[in-house]
Amino acid sequence: MPYFDMPPGHRVLREFVIRRDKRGRWIVSETHGLPGGVFLRRKEALRFALYEADGDATRVHVEPAFDIRTHIPRPACSGAPRKE
């Protein structure tokens, strides 16, 4: 049964996950499949998630920021010295 079709007493508490994507945008995802949002600033993403979670910070989880430096492809190295 979809969330909005449930009677008010049977609705589950909504939880949100905030993460950063490879392009630096902040993505807010609801854990039960409801739409979230895409934001340019972490503050805006956090404000949205807290509002949607009725101000309950225990239902908003922020994942560690995406670090582009750890995902740079490196050239394959055979270990043999180069010949010039």
Q: How far is residue 58's CA from residue 10's CA, in Å, rounded to a whole number?
A: 20
Q: How far is residue 74's CA from residue 54's CA, in Å, rounded to a whole number?
A: 45
Q: What is the mean pLDDT of residues 29-58?
A: 90
Q: What is the mean pLDDT of residues 44-57?
A: 91
What is the reported pTM?
0.64
Q: Which residues, 6+ apart, have CB-to-CB distance to 77 below 8 Å?
A: none
User: What local confidence, expressed as pLDDT, does residue 67 receive?
Assistant: 55
User: What local confidence, expressed as pLDDT, does residue 4 receive?
Assistant: 55
Hey, what amino acid is at 77? C
- Token pair listed for 4: 């909005």
To the nearest whole number, what is the mean pLDDT of the chain? 76
* C-alpha dist (Å) from residue 79 to 13, 40, 56, 72, 82: 54, 42, 53, 20, 9
